[in-house]
A and B are shown apart, each in its own frame.
Chain A
Amino acid sequence: MFKIVHREEMAEGTVVLNEIEAPLIAKKAKPGQFVILKANEEGERIPLTMAETNPEKGTITIIYMVVGKSTALFKELKVGEGFQDVIGPLGKPTHLEKVGKVVCVGGGTGVAVLHPITRGLKDIGNDVTCIIGARNKGLLILEEQMKNASHDLRVCTDDGSYGHHGFVTDVLKDVLDSEDVKLVVAIGPVPMMKAVSQITKERNVETLVSLNPIMVDGTGMCGGCRVTVGNETKFACVDGPEFDGHQVDYDELMLRLRAYHEEERKCHNDYCTIRDAK
């Protein structure tokens, strides 16, 4: 068992943080890599990015949004309990390079994935501006951490309850217009990554996105995670999860993410009904 040693709820309980004992993975993991977790015997294999690793302590940290049955089940796990299986580190690490001015854009739990990458980019000497957004103030995560990981943090909320009133893309345009940005890293909901990539493509600014297709094995064995990048089929679990944002077919990704929508909604509803009845 992979024991949970620390647990937090964020964003009004819609997002959960678990710090998990996984010494082998903690030793090897690099920013941008993910793990696959399975809670119990009947569980599904769920990919989540490592938001933090602590090789000395032998722990990894995941931060996930509760969206369906499996993440709802993860949320129930308490400190001292754990996951039956944790597999990783998987995927290619982010290619960190000193390029000058960098903008990191994060939305929703994408901010958690963005955090180690942002810090890595800052640590090797880039000038990093960070733009993070959420629907409202209560749903914002990791504000303090992102502030420390960057030189300049801008916050947006869709409803104006905090920071800039509007989308991360509005602020991004401002920054791109006023500074000589060399690289944009965008991680969040697919529509956000698509919008960011459209803006940066017009301005010809290199853009990195992290894709989250449905996965099974995470080792390039099933092809379930295939995405189209630059008209070529790629397996996100081994060729990614990060890709050139200008080349990604986001519309296809969105359709493929809905592949099991009906089954998942039913499974989740059944689970909540049973759980709440207890």
Chain B
Amino acid sequence: MAETAEKAKKQERVAMPEQEPKVRARNFLEVPTGYTVKMAQDEASRCLQCKKPACVEGCPVGVDIPGFIEKITEGDFTGAIRNLWSKNALPAVCGRVCPQESQCEGRCIVGRKGQPVAIGNLERFCADYERENGTGELPPKAASTGKKVAVVGSGPSGLTVAGDLIIKGHDVTVFEAFHKPGGVLVYGIPEFRLPKAIVAQEVNFLERQGVNIQCNAVVGRTVSLDELFEEGYDAIYIGVGAGLPRFMNIPGENLVGILSANEYLTRANLMKAYEYPKVDTPIPLGKNVVVLGAGNVAMDSARTAMRLGAESVKIVYRRSRDEMPARQAEIHHAEEEGIELFLLTNPTKYLGNEQGRLTGMECLQMELGEPDDSGRRRPVPVKGSEFTIDCDLCIVAVGSGANPLLTSTTPDMTLNKWGNVVADPKTGKTTKKGVWAGGDIVTGAATVILAMGAGRDAANSMHDYLTLGW
């Protein structure tokens, strides 16, 4: 063991090749281009195959990390993907977007002295290898139970439930408000980070297994939950995400040129506005762009603006670098691409011209004070530090809340004070009989893997209900 530890330490983590920052900052192709078989096996050989793997504890769905990595070293890529699938329905997605540094890789033993095993990259490799070389064979399906399940929302949470329940023999229909399935994976996370063809293939995989996906169905408007029960559905899963944009509520916010990140990214990703005028949906092209916020959503917005040809893109955030919630890889990529960080800066007012268009914003410099409720040091304004930033486009990425469209038409389901659905953390059961919920609509904006984990727990509980009772 000591010997292998020495070896792993000596052997550098295999970096995944990436497009050059200068080149990629102006195109929408994926940034990291993937491991070759050799690279994957070299990286896999760095894993110590721990008996009590700390990494697994860091993964919210408990992926058997040493197990699938061992299969890679053996060259059994089919075995590796099967192993991954048993815990995680969307490894191609998670390998790309999980915040590995604070989950699996953050716990990896090799990471104590050097760079942790690149678990995410390896997971991505297996999924990509299967997609490109696999047989596309469908998993075996249990005999039909005759039970009908409705899944509302086709984000990672809803897709997980659909995939799990179809295999268990239930008849599954997914209702999606947008004209395309995938949730944030299609309308939020950009092409250069998660190619839409991958999401489409995952959805297609579910359809081939028999999942019926009904787009353009706004539950709460086109049909209500009670009407779904009347139509003969036996159980319903709600995975509608956190689709309510938050704004700053500072003067001038309705000037032309100020968009929520939801709007900006939906135009860019779902509507493919970066190909305008080849497609019909326009997107505002800013010369000097400011993005408010410092999470993944902010990084995605900033990097999209850069790719759309901005001269300058600034991220304005009121706390310091340590508090930035985005994945490290995204912050690093953004900076490499020329995006500037204006930390400890808080906007107080938008400035506009006579045409009602944004021309700039007034900001205050902040400094860190005493810790607040979240344990993070509270930013407090520095007196007399006002200054202006010129900008013609501002993207507001300061978080999102629970969209009330569905819940307001379902009065007999309990919500918390922020409007999130109250669900049992173990089973996903809501207070309404026959209805489960999970993902961002329950937890508030979180991560893909947590939304999937909640989906899996709920699917198990729903299966029990459908076969045993409430």
Q: Interface of A with B (CB < 8 Å)?
A: 24-25, 28, 38, 42-45, 69-70, 73, 84-90, 216-217, 219-224, 226-228, 233, 238, 251-252, 255-256, 258-260, 263-264, 266-267, 270
Inter-chain contact A255/B267, CB cutoff 8 Å: no
Chain B residues near A87 (CB, 8 Å)? 177, 179, 216, 218, 222
Chain B residues with Cβ below 8 Å from A84 are: 179
Contact with A along B148-188 (1 / 0, CB 8 A): 00000000000000000000000000000111000000000
Whether A259 touches B179, Cβ cut-off 8 Å, given contacts A219-B403, A221-B262, A223-B245, is: no
User: Out of B216, B262, B266, B356, which one reaches A85, CB within 8 Å?
Assistant: B216
| A89-B221 in contact given A223-B247, A256-B356 (Cβ < 8 Å) | yes
Q: Is the beta-carbon distance between A43 and B243 smaller than 8 angstroms?
A: no
**Is B142 at the interface (CB under 8 A from chain A)?**
no
Closest to A264 in B: B282
Contact present for A25 and B222 (CB under 8 Å): yes
| Complex CA–CA separation, A255 to B272 (angstroms) | 25
Give the complex CA separation of A252 and B266 in angstroms: 23
User: CB-CB < 8 A to B254: which residues of A?
Assistant: 226-228, 233, 252, 256
Residues of chain B within 8 A of A222, CB atoms compared: 245, 260, 262-263, 266
Q: B287: shortest Cβ distance to chain A, in Å?
A: 14
Q: Give the shortest distance, in Å, between A217 (CB) and chain B (any CB).
A: 7
Q: Whole-angstrom distance between the alpha carbons of A226 and B244 in the complex?
A: 13
The distance in angstroms between the C-alpha atoms of A195 and B257, with both chains bound, is: 27
- Looking at the complex, which one of B282, B355, B356 makes contact with A260 (CB distance below 8 Å)? B282
B253 adjacent to A233 (CB under 8 Å): yes
Task: Find chain A residues with CB under 8 A from B272 CB.
Answer: 42
The answer to whether B223 has its CB under 8 Å from any CB of chain A is yes
Given A220-B243, A221-B262, A270-B277, check contact A44 B271 (CB 8 Å).
yes
Q: Is the CB of A216 within 8 A of B263?
A: yes
What are some 19 contacts across the A-B interface (CB < 8 A)? A25-B222, A28-B222, A42-B279, A43-B280, A45-B179, A86-B216, A216-B271, A221-B403, A222-B263, A222-B266, A223-B247, A224-B263, A228-B254, A233-B254, A252-B254, A256-B254, A259-B256, A263-B282, A264-B282
B215 at the interface (CB under 8 A from A): yes
The interface residues of chain A lying within 8 Å CB-to-CB of B222 are 24-25, 28, 87-89
Known: A88-B221, A222-B260, A255-B256. 5 other contacts (CB 8 A): A87-B177, A219-B403, A221-B403, A223-B263, A267-B277
Chain A neighbourhood of B280, CB < 8 A: 42-44, 69-70, 73, 267
B276-A267 in contact (CB<8A): yes
In whole angstroms, what is the CA distance A233 to B254 when docked?
Answer: 8
B251 to chain A, nearest CB (A): 11
Determine the chain A residues whose CB is within 8 A of the CB of B216 once the complex forms.
85-87
CB of A220 within 8 A of CB of B405, answer yes
- Is B383 in the interface zone, CB < 8 Å from A? no
Asked if B278 is at the interface (CB within 8 A of a chain A CB), the reply is yes
Q: Kindly state the separation between the CA atoms of A216 and B343 in the bound complex, as whole angstroms.
A: 31
Q: Chain B residues near A263 (CB, 8 Å)? A: 276-277, 282
Is the CB–CB distance between B256 and A266 below 8 Å?
no
A219 touches B405 (CB 8 A): yes
* B277 proximity list for chain A (CB < 8 A): 263, 266-267, 270
Name which residue of chain B comes closest to A84, CB basis.
B179
Which residue, of A45, A70, A227, has the highest number of chain B Cβ atoms within 10 A?
Answer: A45
User: Hey, which chain B residues are within 8 Å of A219, CB to CB?
Assistant: 177, 218, 221, 243, 403, 405
B111, CB-defined interface residue at 8 Å: no
- Cβ contacts under 8 Å, A220 to chain B: 243-244, 403-405
The complex places the Cα of A170 from the Cα of B123 at a distance, in Å, of 71
Asked if A260 and B284 sit within 8 Å, CB to CB, the answer is yes
CB of B293, distance to nearest CB on chain A (Å): 14
The 5 A-B pairs of least Cβ separation, nearest first, read A255-B356, A222-B263, A44-B280, A263-B282, A221-B243
CA distance A219 to B221 in the complex (A): 9
Whether a CB of chain A sits under 8 angstroms from the CB of B102 is no
